[in-house]
Structures are given as structure tokens and as C-alpha cells.
Chains A and B, each alone.
Chain A
Amino acid sequence: ETGVTQSPTHLIKTRGQQVTLRCSSQSGHNTVSWYQQALGQGPQFIFQYYREEENGRGNFPPRFSGLQFPNYSSELNVNALELDDSALYLCASSLVGGAGYTFGSGTRLTVV
């Protein structure tokens, strides 16, 4: 059973740039969620995808967008990066109706 893998592990971007983060779901999972975790805080829900459609969104602006592919892998895109976007971005996969989420180790994004 493979887990959730995220790439890259670390990334440095300049304010105003765009970034794409990638996630491969755990085998058999059909739902993927993305979270942002600032230093010292719990993860904050960004959005969730099921069957390639967004089916839930947290309090994040439209410049945060995503995609889910037929093989259940996913991307998180952030446009017009701001300094406050510096955080650990976590991807989690699950089965609809399942009890648990499996998280990746995250991508550490630094915006300078």
C-alpha cells in the first residue's frame, strides 16, 4: 500500500510569482484535500476534490486553485504569491465515507 507523496519537498518563490504543488494519492483513495499550515498553527483546509470536481472549499481566495486527475493525483496552484503564503502545504487522500485521511509530508513553500 503506497502512501501519499508530495513534490517538491521545499520551494522558494518570489512575491508575485505562481507555483504548482503536486500530490499522488494513496492507492484506492478517490478524494484529495489540500491544507495550509503556518508555523505553530494547525493545518487549515483549502479545498477538496472528488471525481475531479471541487466539492468543498475553505476560506481561501480564488488565486488558490486545484485540479484532480483521473488517476486521483492532484495539483495545487497559487497565483500572485504573497509573503503570507509561506507555509507547509499538505495533501491528504481518503475514500468517500471512509474514516481516516492519509497525509503526505508536505511541501514547504517560502515566498521572499
Chain B
Amino acid sequence: DAKTTQPNSMESNEEEPVHLPCNHSTISGTDYIHWYRQLPSQGPEYVIHGLTSNVNNRMASLAIAEDRKSSTLILHRATLRDAAVYYCILRDHYSGNTPLVFGKGTRLSVIA
């Protein structure tokens, strides 16, 4: 399985932007980069995904490096409700309904 590397934990002040990094140096050409987050006492929740171009949605932005070996999830204004474990996952788009392979993720703490 393609692997990702994320910091174990990060901290942010409320209402500040947060940049969550992910390294995936062995990414293949058909791997999409997916981000999920898991709030306390809940199941993971889809955040965003992309292939090559930067992506924006109502929750976050995804910045993908030109060589695709790294990406950054950007929360534009962190709130206390964004405190969660964030998972960066590679998923091959052309291997059918491939399951998600989770690492340990980054635990984001948001300080009021």
C-alpha cells in the first residue's frame, strides 16, 4: 500500500489558519489524495480529495505539490469544533472500490 507520513500532533489558536502537512513520496500516478477527520467519539468524516490541482470546498482547501509527493490540508479559520484527528490517505482511483488505508493521522488541538 502507498504510505503517507504525517506529524503526530499540531496545535492552533482559534480563528487562525491551520496547515496540516502530509508526505507521500511513493505516490503513483493514479492515486488520489484523500483527507478525512475524526472528531471525538465519532467515525471518520470525509473532508476533501484531489489528484493534481488544488481543491477548495466549504470545509477546507487542499494544496498539492507540483511533484505530488506532498500535500497540505488548509483550514482557513480554525474553530474549537475542528479539534480532531486528521488522516491523509492515498487511494488508487482505478482499482475499483478500494478500501481506505488509515495511518495514525495528526491530532489537531485548537486553543481558545
Most buried by A among B49, B96, B100, B103: B100
Binding site of B, secondary structure by majority: helix, strand, loop or mixed?
A: loop
**Interchain nearest-CB distance for B37 vs A (Å):** 11
Which residues in B have their C-beta under 8 angstroms from that of A106? Answer: 42-43
Total A-B pairs, Cβ < 8 A: 61
- Judging by beta carbons under 8 Å apart, are A50 and B99 in contact? no
- Judging by beta carbons under 8 Å apart, are A99 and B44 in contact? no
- Judging by beta carbons under 8 Å apart, are B43 and A45 in contact? no
Contact-residue bracket for chain B:
20 to 34
Closest to B87 in A: A42
B interface residues with partner A (beta carbon < 8 Å): 32, 34, 36, 41-46, 49, 85, 87, 96-105
The 5 closest A-B pairs by CB, nearest first: A103-B43, A42-B102, A100-B46, A45-B99, A96-B97
A interface residues with partner B (beta carbon < 8 Å): 4, 31, 33, 35, 40-45, 48, 50, 55-56, 58, 90-92, 94, 96-97, 99-106
